[in-house]
């Protein structure tokens, strides 16, 4: 059973300091939603408010249509996986998994059935008698997830659960959590600062910054149509190139912009002020060397990274501008070489002085 | 790197010394360290190990400070074990004191530490104030004050009379109550274990409680299933230290009973009896034997504590 969640003008204050500024959000039953943003953006605080671990200063929180602002954490039908795993070190894995069920007063037989079922799902049956200190990071993470599963909650909350794992294990666990979501069909909210995790796991991404939602949408919507410069820069790796631009004085139709010494004609007129600064955004994978499309002039190669499947090129101009390119395959680009850059105009992103998409 | 080079130079120099013993070479190499260690070494050998070994020897003698020690073999120990009713009385008082004062002091210290751990304002000041009795507690002045408080016309009885109209006994003159006043004095010195408990409580990650809260565990269940088990290393440490301290307790009983251990041996701590034998009757040999019996008892208790720890003390890693 999955639960739906509605946040209405949710506010969090610590004394005079406001951390969350009136957030509105709807999460459908069974969705995998990822809260993503830089450190201090309020994503964990928001998750903890949904969990009932943090008091809600203003607004309303509804789970399955019921207002739960004052409802105790244990009565919200949620389970949470913590960044530090929060396993009880003095209890065996079995006891860790059973703790919540025993607390809720389940009969011993039912506890045993549920624990064994969760252990089989997570392939930790062989570890049930061990103490957490005898487990690897990945195994501890499985136990932490198992502790959530046994309670059969409507909603799973994950607070940066993979951040303590090494890169390889992180990828493996990412896949396992995604599979788990498919198997259980529960609503899952997952907090991370890693945009790759967000892109690969989410049905819906909520990008947060300084306690405000910057954009909500499906991963590829955010990638293709970022609502503002922050989201454009945050989603995608390597991050989007931003170059200073302005409207050309020579073109009264307001369709030409000057960027990196080049004049680029747009397919539409801009409504910004004549002297307003603009940001010209292009993803590294949308730049090409001497390809078709619109020219961005000649650039000097400053650094080349050969990744095997792709080549990352860092190029700059005398005037100080720099861009990153991701090229398919293995390329024979050399440092110091002059390269003509071009791009497909449909991949261009323009942002105004306020950071909003134009 | 400079240290490593110096060490290499020293090592090669030491290696070059012809026909010197290995010990001598090590001594030459570490001479500076020994110079710095000297004050402690003098203190240890002159004031701790030397007297301890001397007392071990004396425990097998009759010695009254005036004549040379007279070797009597194990006679002192035999007398302790078979023919000394005061030994049994002092043991009974001491064990009762240890069994009462240590758990009560630890429980009280934990209670106060948990109250402090809730993040109250002015914690630093309160912590200092509550620690103060531990600094003063074993002093002569406090023991004298305690005597005044629990005397028949003392503050405790005045308060009982004013509040409840109850005329209290003379707590320190009545053998039924005298030991308990010393137990209360011991509990009052809860500052040291309290500070250690507080540090231990701070070490328990908050998300353990949050996970338990989501699981619906009450505060009581959280205390018994999370706090206490995770605090067992600290409880163990405090229990061992406080028990040793309790076995060694002397000053309060000495002051309150004026050195007699009375009334009717009710405050005759083992150390007080030992003192009486040594400096009251100048039976230094017998007192030394008593001291070594105490060492053995404390050692056995400590060994038992460490052996039992594997069954109830939970270490994270």
A90 interfacial to chain B (CB closer than 8 Å): yes
Residue in B211, B217, B316 closest to A89 by CB: B316
B287 in any annotated domain = yes
User: Running DSSP on this structure, what letter comes out for residue A19?
Assistant: E
What is the domain-level CATH number for residue A300? 2.40.50.140
Which residues from A are below 8 Å from B314, CB to CB? 89-90
CB-CB neighbours of A328 under 10 Å: 10
Which residues from B are below 8 Å from A88, CB to CB? 208, 225-226, 229-230
Last residue of a domain, one of A211, A234, A257: A234
Which residues from B are below 8 Å from A147, CB to CB? 211
Last residue of a domain, one of A234, A251, A278: A234
B94 in any annotated domain = yes
The number of distinct structural domains making up chain B is 2
B69 in any annotated domain = no
Verify that B170 and B43 share a domain, yes or no: no
The string of pLDDT tens digits covering residues B3-61 is 444 544 455 554 555 556 888 888 888 888 989 999 999 999 999 999 999 999 999 99
Work out the widest C-alpha separation in chain A, in whole angstroms: 81
Do B198 and B118 meet the contact criterion of CB atoms below 8 Å apart?
Answer: no
- The dihedral built from the CA positions of residue B64, B69, B70 and B72, taken in this order, carries a sign that is positive
A136 interfacial to chain B (CB closer than 8 Å): no
Span A221-249, average pLDDT: 93
Q: What is the residue range of B37's domain?
A: 2-58
Q: What's the pLDDT at B199?
A: 93
Verify that B177 and B262 share a domain, yes or no: yes
The string of pLDDT tens digits covering residues B257-306 is 888 887 888 899 999 999 999 999 999 999 999 999 999 999 999 999 99
Interface contact flag, A103 B226, Cβ < 8 Å: no
Mean pLDDT of chain B: 87
Verify that B35 and B145 share a domain, yes or no: no
Verify that A264 and A202 share a domain, yes or no: no
Verify that A292 and A211 share a domain, yes or no: no
Q: What's the pLDDT at A41?
A: 94
* CA triple B253-B256-B257, angle to 5 deg: 75
As a whole-number percent, the residues of chain A with pLDDT over 70 amount to: 99
Verify that A115 and A138 share a domain, yes or no: yes
A358 in any annotated domain = no
Last residue of a domain, one of A234, A254, A285: A234
Verify that A260 and A283 share a domain, yes or no: yes
Rounded distance between C-alpha atoms, residue B267 and residue B90, angstroms: 8
Residue in A72, A82, A133 closest to B211 by CB: A82
Do B123 and B113 meet the contact criterion of CB atoms below 8 Å apart?
Answer: no
CB-CB neighbours of B132 under 10 Å: 12
Verify that A291 and A198 share a domain, yes or no: no
Q: What's the pLDDT at A333?
A: 92
The string of pLDDT tens digits covering residues A84-112 is 999 999 999 999 999 999 999 999 999 99
pLDDT at A120 over 80: yes
Verify that A230 and A252 share a domain, yes or no: no
B50 interfacial to chain A (CB closer than 8 Å): no
A147 interfacial to chain B (CB closer than 8 Å): yes
Do B186 and B142 meet the contact criterion of CB atoms below 8 Å apart?
Answer: no
Q: What's the pLDDT at B1?
A: 38
Q: What is the residue range of A346's domain?
A: 241-351
Rounded distance between C-alpha atoms, residue B262 and residue B272, angstroms: 11
Q: What's the pLDDT at B138?
A: 61
pLDDT at A283 over 90: yes
A147 in any annotated domain = yes
Verify that B139 and B234 share a domain, yes or no: yes
Interface contact flag, B210 A52, Cβ < 8 Å: no
Verify that A252 and A199 share a domain, yes or no: no
Verify that B228 and B185 share a domain, yes or no: yes
Do B187 and B252 meet the contact criterion of CB atoms below 8 Å apart?
Answer: no
Task: Count A/B contacts: CB-CB distance under 8 Å.
Answer: 65
Residue of chain A with shortest Cα separation from B214: A74
Rounded distance between C-alpha atoms, residue B227 and residue A341, angstroms: 63
Interface contact flag, B214 A73, Cβ < 8 Å: yes
Average the pLDDT over each of A237-241, B161-165, B220-224 and give the range with the smallest value. Answer: B161-165
Verify that A101 and A190 share a domain, yes or no: yes
B84 in any annotated domain = yes
pLDDT at A271 over 90: no
Do A46 and A22 meet the contact criterion of CB atoms below 8 Å apart?
Answer: no
Verify that A95 and A137 share a domain, yes or no: yes
Residue in B213, B214, B230 closest to A90 by CB: B230
Q: What's the pLDDT at B19?
A: 55
Which residues from A are below 8 Å from B212, CB to CB? 99, 103
Closest CA to B238 of B130, B95, B104: B104
CB-CB neighbours of A68 under 10 Å: 20
Rounded distance between C-alpha atoms, residue B182 and residue B37, angstroms: 40
Rounded distance between C-alpha atoms, residue B157 and residue B150, angstroms: 7
Which residues from A are below 8 Å from B316, CB to CB? 89, 133
Interface contact flag, A53 B210, Cβ < 8 Å: yes
Mean pLDDT of chain A: 92
Residue of chain A with shortest Cα separation from B220: A103
Verify that B176 and B222 share a domain, yes or no: yes
3-state secondary structure of A335: coil
Go through B218-253 and write b for each residue having 16 or more CB atoms within 10 A of its CB, e for each that does not. eeeebeebbbebbbbebbbbbbbebbbbbbebebbb
Verify that A35 and A99 share a domain, yes or no: yes
pLDDT at B238 over 90: yes
A9 interfacial to chain B (CB closer than 8 Å): no
B219 interfacial to chain A (CB closer than 8 Å): no
Q: How far from A48 is each of A190, A203, A270, A303, B296, CA to CA, in Å?
A: 11, 21, 42, 43, 55
The H or E element that residue B62 is part of is strand B61-62
As a whole-number percent, the residues of chain A with pLDDT over 90 amount to: 78
- In a 13 Å sphere around the CA of A135, the CA atoms on its Cβ side amount to 26
User: Running DSSP on this structure, what letter comes out for residue A310?
Assistant: E
Which residues from A are below 8 Å from B219, CB to CB? none
B207 interfacial to chain A (CB closer than 8 Å): yes
Interface contact flag, B216 A103, Cβ < 8 Å: yes
The number of distinct structural domains making up chain A is 2
Q: What's the pLDDT at B219?
A: 94
pLDDT at A159 over 90: yes
Which residues from A are below 8 Å from B211, CB to CB? 80, 82, 86, 147
**E strands along A32-115, which residues?**
32-36, 58-63, 66-67, 78-81
Verify that B308 and B253 share a domain, yes or no: yes
The string of pLDDT tens digits covering residues B118-159 is 877 787 888 788 777 777 656 777 777 877 888 888 888 899
B186 in any annotated domain = yes
Verify that B177 and B33 share a domain, yes or no: no
Shortest Cα distance from A91 to chain B (angstroms)?
Answer: 9
Residues in contact with B27: Cβ distance below 8 Å, sequence separation at least 6, in sequence order? B34
Shortest Cα distance from B71 to chain A (angstroms)?
Answer: 54
Number of H helices and number of E strands within chain B? 17, 2
Can you tell me the ipTM of this complex?
0.85
Q: What's the pLDDT at B8?
A: 47
Q: What's the pLDDT at A270?
A: 80
Q: How many residues does chain B have?
A: 317
As a whole-number percent, the residues of chain B with pLDDT over 70 amount to: 92
Rounded distance between C-alpha atoms, residue B147 and residue B152, angstroms: 10
Shortest Cα distance from A174 to chain B (angstroms)?
Answer: 22
B70 in any annotated domain = no
Span B155-170, average pLDDT: 86
Which residues from A are below 8 Å from B213, CB to CB? 52-53, 72-74
Q: Is B245 left (phi over 0), alpha (psi -120 to 50) or beta?
A: alpha
Verify that A185 and A328 share a domain, yes or no: no
A146 interfacial to chain B (CB closer than 8 Å): no
A93 in any annotated domain = yes
Shortest Cα distance from A79 to chain B (angstroms)?
Answer: 7
Verify that A171 and A125 share a domain, yes or no: yes
B73 in any annotated domain = no
Q: What's the pLDDT at A213?
A: 97
pLDDT at A65 over 70: yes
What is the domain-level CATH number for residue A36? 3.40.50.300
């Amino acid at each position: 059973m999955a639960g739906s969640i509605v946040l209405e003008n949710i506010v969090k204050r610590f004394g005079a300091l406001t951390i969350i500024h009136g957030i509105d959000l709807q999460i459908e039953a069974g969705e995998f939603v990822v809260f993503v943003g830089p450190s201090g953006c309020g994503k964990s605080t928001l998750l903890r408010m949904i969990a009932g671990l943090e008091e809600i200063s203003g607004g309303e929180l509804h789970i399955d249509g019921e207002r739960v602002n004052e409802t105790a954490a244990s009565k919200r039908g949620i389970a949470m996986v913590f960044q530090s795993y929060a396993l009880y070190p003095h209890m065996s894995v079995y006891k860790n998994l059973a703790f919540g069920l025993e607390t809720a007063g389940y009969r011993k037989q039912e506890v045993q059935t549920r624990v064994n079922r969760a252990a089989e799902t997570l392939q930790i049956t062989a570890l049930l008698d061990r103490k957490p200190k005898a487990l690897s990071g990945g195994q501890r993470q499985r136990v932490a997830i198992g502790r959530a599963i046994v309670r059969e909650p409507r909603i799973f909350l994950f607070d940066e659960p993979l951040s303590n794992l090494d890169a390889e294990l992180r990828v493996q666990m990412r896949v396992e959590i995604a599979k788990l979501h498919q198997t259980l069909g529960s609503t899952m909210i997952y907090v991370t600062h890693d945009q790759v995790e967000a892109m690969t796991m989410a049905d819906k991404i909520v990008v947060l910054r300084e306690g405000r939602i910057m954009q909500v949408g499906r991963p590829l919507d955010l990638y293709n149509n970022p609502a503002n410069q922050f989201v454009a820069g945050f989603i995608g790796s390597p991050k989007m190139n931003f170059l200073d631009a302005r409207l050309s004085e020579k073109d009264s139709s307001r369709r030409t912009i000057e960027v990196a010494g080049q004049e680029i004609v747009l397919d539409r007129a801009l409504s910004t002020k004549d002297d307003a600064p603009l940001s010209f955004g292009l993803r590294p994978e949308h730049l090409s060397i001497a390809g078709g499309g619109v020219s961005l002039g000649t650039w000097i190669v400053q650094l080349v990274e050969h990744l095997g499947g792709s080549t990352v090129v860092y190029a700059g101009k005398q005037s100080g501008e720099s861009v990153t390119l991701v090229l398919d395959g293995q390329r024979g680009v050399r440092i110091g070489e002059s390269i003509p850059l071009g791009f497909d105009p449909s991949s261009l992103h323009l942002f105004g002085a306020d950071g909003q998409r134009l | 790197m400079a240290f490593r080079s110096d060490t290499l130079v020293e090592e090669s120099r030491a290696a070059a010394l012809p026909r010197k013993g290995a010990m001598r070479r090590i001594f030459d190499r570490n001479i500076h360290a020994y110079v710095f260690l000297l004050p402690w070494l003098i203190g240890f050998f002159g004031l701790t190990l030397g007297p301890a070994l001397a007392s071990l020897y004396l425990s097998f003698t009759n010695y009254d400070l005036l004549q040379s020690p007279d070797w009597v073999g194990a006679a002192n120990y035999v007398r302790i074990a078979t023919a000394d009713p005061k030994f049994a009385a002092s043991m009974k008082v001491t064990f009762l004191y240890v069994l009462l004062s240590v758990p009560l002091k630890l429980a009280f210290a934990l209670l106060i530490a948990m109250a402090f751990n809730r993040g109250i304002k002015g914690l630093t000041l309160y912590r200092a104030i509550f620690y103060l009795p531990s600094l003063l507690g074993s002093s002569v002045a406090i023991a004298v004050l305690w005597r005044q408080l629990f005397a028949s016309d003392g503050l405790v009885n005045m308060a009982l009379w004013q509040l409840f109209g109850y005329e209290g006994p003379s707590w320190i003159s009545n053998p039924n109550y005298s030991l308990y006043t010393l137990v209360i004095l011991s509990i009052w010195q809860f500052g040291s274990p309290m500070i250690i408990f507080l540090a231990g409580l701070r070490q328990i990650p908050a998300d353990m409680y949050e996970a338990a809260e989501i699981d619906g565990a009450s505060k009581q269940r959280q205390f018994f299933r999370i706090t206490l088990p995770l605090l067992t290393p600290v409880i163990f440490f405090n229990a061992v230290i406080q028990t040793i301290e309790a076995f060694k307790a002397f000053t309060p009983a000495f002051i309150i009973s004026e050195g007699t251990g009375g009334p009717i041996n009710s405050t005759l701590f083992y150390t007080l009896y030992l003192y009486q034998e040594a400096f009251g009757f100048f039976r230094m040999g017998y007192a030394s034997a008593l001291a070594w019996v105490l060492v053995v008892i404390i050692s056995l208790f400590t060994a038992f504590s460490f052996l039992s720890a594997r069954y109830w003390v939970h270490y994270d890693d």
